[in-house]
């Protein structure tokens, strides 16, 4: 994920750096010491911003959701763009975000790592995927009935997330790029 262009606070900077570490190393394989070191902080100073690692991850996931909402999901609701233009712009932005950093989708990674044993992150992750689904559904409803648009949106996100997984596994962007193309073709 690209860093925001605007000036941001130290807390936001910590969340951006931490999200990269969590995305690449996972939640359980990341220590407070790892996070503090990457952020240029002493362990004790880290606790000025976050009460613990769980709090940092939860706030980081929420911050990422808000970032995607502003940069990607809101495109679906812009006036003056055709449905095809909206989907194309959303998918191009999504492509830039996921190809920019190593490690795939932090939401999927954390879900796979923690959902079975610890449900505290599930609500914020569900919120992310619900917003993504709602944005695609909004566009797809211009061609499909609401239930079918919902199914198409869910299918597109499942395909994109699977494409990200295979891109990482085989170290080949084609899986992700093909999934994005299929999500765009829903409007053809």
Q: 181: part of which helix (H) or strand (E)?
A: helix 174-185
Name the average pLDDT for the chain.
94
The residue assigned the tokens 């796979």 is 112
What is the model's pLDDT at position 101?
A: 77
H or E, element range at 153: helix 146-170
- pLDDT band of 3, cuts 50, 70, 90: low
CATH 1.10.357.10 fits 58-185, yes or no: yes
Domain layout of the chain by residue ranges: 58-185
Q: Considering only residues 59 and 101, tell me which one the structure prediction assigns the higher pLDDT.
A: 59
The pLDDT of residue 123 is 97
Kindly tell me if the per-residue pLDDT of 81 is higher than 90. yes
Higher pLDDT, 116 or 185: 185
Strand, helix or coil at 61?
A: helix
pLDDT at 4: 47
pLDDT digits (tens, 9 = 90+) for 133-165: 999 999 999 999 999 999 999 999 999 999 999
pLDDT at 36 over 60: yes
Q: What is the pLDDT of residue 118?
A: 86
């Amino acid at each position: 994920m690209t860093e925001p262009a605007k000036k941001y606070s130290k807390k936001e900077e910590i969340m951006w750096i931490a999200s990269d570490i969590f995305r690449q190393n996972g939640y359980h394989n990341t220590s407070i010491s790892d996070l503090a070191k990457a952020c240029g902080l002493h362990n004790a100073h880290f606790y000025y911003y976050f009460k613990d690692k769980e709090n940092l991850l939860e706030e980081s996931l929420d911050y990422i959701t808000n970032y995607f909402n502003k940069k990607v999901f809101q495109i679906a609701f812009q006036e003056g763009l055709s449905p095809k233009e909206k989907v194309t712009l959303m998918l191009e932005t999504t492509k830039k975000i996921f190809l920019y950093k190593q490690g795939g989708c932090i939401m999927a990674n954390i879900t796979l790592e923690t959902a079975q044993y610890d449900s505290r992150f599930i609500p914020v992750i569900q919120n992310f995927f619900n917003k993504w689904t709602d944005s695609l559904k909004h566009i797809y409803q211009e061609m499909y009935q609401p239930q079918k648009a919902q199914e198409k949106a869910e299918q597109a996100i499942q395909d994109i997330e699977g494409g990200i997984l295979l891109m990482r596994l085989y170290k080949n962007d084609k899986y992700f790029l093909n999934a994005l193309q299929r999500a765009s073709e829903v409007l053809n």
